[in-house]
Amino acid sequence: MYKAPIDDMTFALETLSQEMPHLAQSLPDAEMIDVILNEAGKLAGDVIAPLNHEADKKGGAVRQDDGSVKTPDGFADAFRQLAEGGWTSMEAQEAFGGQEMPLALSSCVNEMWQSSNMAFSLCHLLTQGLISALQHSASDEQKACFIPPMVEGRWTGTMNLTEPQAGTDLAAIKTKAVKQGDHYLISGQKIYITYGEHDMAENIVHLVLARTPDAPEGHKGISVFLVPKFLINDDGSLGERNDVHCVSIEKKLGIKGSPTAVLQYGDNGGAIGYLVGEENQGLAIMFGMMNHARFNVGLQGLALSDRALQQAISYAHTRTQGTPLLREAKTPIIHHPDVARLIGQMKAESEAMRALMIYGAALLDEAEEGDEAIRRRADFLIPIIKGWLTEQSLIMTSHNVQIHGGMGFIEETGAAQHYRDARILPIYEGTTAIQSNDLLFRKTIRDDGLEAKSFLAEIARDAQLASTHEDNVIQSLASQLITKTVEAETAIDSLLARQNQPRHIAASGVPYLMMLGTLSGAWMLLKQGIRAHKLAQQTGADTDRLNGKLSSLKLFAALTLPLVTSYAETVSLAGDATEALDVEALLH
């Protein structure tokens, strides 16, 4: 069973609101937040979560002979309930029927959807991304036509980038777009299109990267088009079927319930598409959607981590196996020291990840108002949120399997499903290596480390202020953080000193990202620990819950934060060792 972690979400929102005025002003009042989170939690736990394991066991979505796709039992009805409850409208602008809820709050709700059933919730996630992209880049006419039906949950959206020969290298795309009057005719094939065909909505709107005949080579010649599954009549009703069809559904390691389609465009003359923005400006528009998507994939890493944590806690409190040291016979395995260590570390890291997600969401919201310093910080954090949270999800879902022992290796328990589902997260929307290259070259080297060092300086300032705190746990973490920020800055200096050796520093990119992610998590827990200690002094305080926060802080400091030292050392050493490798010798 899944239970939404509403208390922790609320605590993180309240803690960060005290330090971020824009977040405090954008959030509804505490009573409304409580209603939103509790109602979302009920839908996630009672309706969406029960569909997850069954869809995985039965093999997921199925393509029919006519090219249509049947989603797993219950998915279409659950999506209808999502729409009827107004949940598909949370982030969109009011002008299009949306609620304009701050991303910091809607991301908490999205975590519930993804944690309860990631395969199902991917449809909603991509639709939100398309709405966001159109709000920023589409014409007024396109916005009025395409956004409201997606906000209502009647239509859904996809993102079509990848082709058989063009994955990471989008410059290699071959899909064609030929202008014909007020539209274009699209032809080509796109692969890995999540919810590219399904039976959960009456129409699907594809955002497609393609080239016009006279487009320049490479990235500069990419345009982006809206291609609906069904054409739209002047009165907004649906017209004839467009020339885009699903030719197959991929068989996957995980997220089996979500249909990952191969889409063929233009088999019968060309699919009608509508240019978004200007010709040859498509990559910039798509990257706007991709930033939104990368943040949300990081959110998925948190979501699966928390689902694994909940399952591990439940199992460890009921399973008896062996007698834990200095405990009575028949005592549950949670009392084995190593199981307690693993679960404690999972809990601490989950809380750190959630707070970092909310912090990043708040910055993304504030950046919309044009503050350049906030925009730089938000952009700096996107690859860290995407990379660190998804890499951690692999570790935490693996811990869950380990805690289940042999039963974790058996599909019946569901632990293996979370492990398999998590494996896609460090891959899609840009692998961890791509995130680290973005962080390294665009967000660190390009400005000579100014933003990276500013980020470290802010962590160090908070740590310095907390280093004399009356609570020993807070004081200890703060002192560690001061030391770790110095180590991290030394690592950054080593990267800057070798910036004329791009292959050397690229080999250090992932450890660099993981180093900053770990520091960020510790920083978030420090903020929460300070607030928890203060609240615990008040009359009538929930001391068990608040002391749990301090326990998480202590566990993170002991079990996770020390990794910064090894990451920092690897940043300095990885380049030389990797470049000295004779890759041809690996063949023998």
Backbone angles phi, psi at 222, to 5 degrees: -100, 130
Taking the C-alpha atoms of residue 166 and residue 184, their distance in angstroms, rounded to an integer, is 22
The pLDDT tens digits of the residues spanning 439-452 come to 999 999 999 999 99
435 CB-near residues (< 8 Å, 6+ apart): 294, 383, 384, 386, 387, 513
The full 3-state SS of 63-102, as one line of letters, equals: ECCCCCEECCCCHHHHHHHHHHCCHHHCCCCHHHCCCCCC
* Residue whose C-alpha is closest to residue 556's, from 532, 530, 531, 523: 523
Per-residue pLDDT averaged across 477-488, rounded?
Answer: 98
**Beta pairing, strands 69-70 & 62-63:** antiparallel
* DSSP codes joined into one string, 328-369: -TT-BGGGSHHHHHHHHHHHHHHHHHHHHHHHHHHHHHHHTT
Taking the C-alpha atoms of residue 131 and residue 442, their distance in angstroms, rounded to an integer, is 27
Per-residue pLDDT averaged across 334-338, rounded?
Answer: 97
* Residue whose C-alpha is closest to residue 185's, from 242, 263, 261, 245: 242
Q: How much of the chain exceeds pLDDT 90, in percent?
A: 95
Instruction: Tell me the pLDDT band of 134, cut-offs 50, 70 and 90.
Output: very high
Spatial contact of 165 and 237, defined as CB atoms under 8 Å apart = no
433 CB-near residues (< 8 Å, 6+ apart): 509, 510
Taking the C-alpha atoms of residue 44 and residue 6, their distance in angstroms, rounded to an integer, is 12
The full 3-state SS of 136-170, as one line of letters, equals: HHCCHHHHHHHHHHHHCCCEEEEEECCECCECCCH
Q: How many other C-beta atoms are found inside a 10 Å radius of the C-beta of residue 368?
A: 13
Instruction: Tell me the pLDDT band of 69, cut-offs 50, 70 and 90.
Output: very high
Taking the C-alpha atoms of residue 550 and residue 284, their distance in angstroms, rounded to an integer, is 43
User: Given CA atoms 103, 105, 106, 112 in this order, what sign does their dihedral have?
Assistant: positive
Taking the C-alpha atoms of residue 574 and residue 579, their distance in angstroms, rounded to an integer, is 8
Q: How many other C-beta atoms are found inside a 10 Å radius of the C-beta of residue 177?
A: 30
Residue-level pLDDT at 97: 98
Note if 429 is an active site residue. yes
pLDDT at 214 over 90: yes
Taking the C-alpha atoms of residue 134 and residue 538, their distance in angstroms, rounded to an integer, is 48
Instruction: Tell me the pLDDT band of 291, cut-offs 50, 70 and 90.
Output: confident
Spatial contact of 271 and 210, defined as CB atoms under 8 Å apart = no
Per-residue pLDDT averaged across 410-436, rounded?
Answer: 97
Residue-level pLDDT at 285: 84
* DSSP codes joined into one string, 293-313: HHHHHHHHHHHHHHHHHHHHH
Residue-level pLDDT at 171: 84
- Token pair for 584: 């041809």
Residue-level pLDDT at 1: 86
Q: Which residue has the tokens 């068989």?
A: 251
Per-residue pLDDT averaged across 62-66, rounded?
Answer: 96
Taking the C-alpha atoms of residue 544 and residue 535, their distance in angstroms, rounded to an integer, is 12
Taking the C-alpha atoms of residue 449 and residue 455, their distance in angstroms, rounded to an integer, is 10
Query: Among 152, 429, 451, 487, which one carries the catalytic annotation?
Result: 429
User: Given CA atoms 444, 446, 447, 449 in this order, what sign does their dihedral have?
Assistant: positive
Per-residue pLDDT averaged across 345-373, rounded?
Answer: 96
Taking the C-alpha atoms of residue 521 and residue 468, their distance in angstroms, rounded to an integer, is 21
The pLDDT tens digits of the residues spanning 524-537 come to 999 999 999 999 99
The per-residue pLDDT of the chain, averaged, comes to 96
pLDDT at 512 over 80: yes
Q: Where are the beta strands (DSSP E) in 181-307?
A: 183-194, 203-210, 223-228, 230-232, 238-241, 244-249, 260-265, 271-275
Q: Render the burial of 263-274: b for 16+ CB within 10 Å, e for the rest.
A: bbbbeeebbbbb
User: Given CA atoms 213, 214, 219, 224 in this order, what sign does their dihedral have?
Assistant: negative
pLDDT at 514 over 90: yes
User: H or E stretch including 108?
Assistant: helix 103-116
Residue-level pLDDT at 289: 72
Residue-level pLDDT at 363: 97
The pLDDT tens digits of the residues spanning 241-263 come to 999 999 999 999 999 999 999 99
251 CB-near residues (< 8 Å, 6+ apart): none
| Residue 132 amino acid letter | S
For Cα atoms 369, 371, 377, give the angle at the middle one, nearest 5 degrees.
115
Backbone angles phi, psi at 408, to 5 degrees: -70, -25
Please measure the distance between the N-terminal and C-terminal CA atoms of the chain and give it in whole angstroms: 50
Per-residue pLDDT averaged across 211-215, rounded?
Answer: 96
Higher pLDDT, 283 or 463: 463
Instruction: Tell me the pLDDT band of 284, cut-offs 50, 70 and 90.
Output: confident
Cβ neighbourhood burial of 536 (10 Å; 0-12, 13-18, 19+): middle
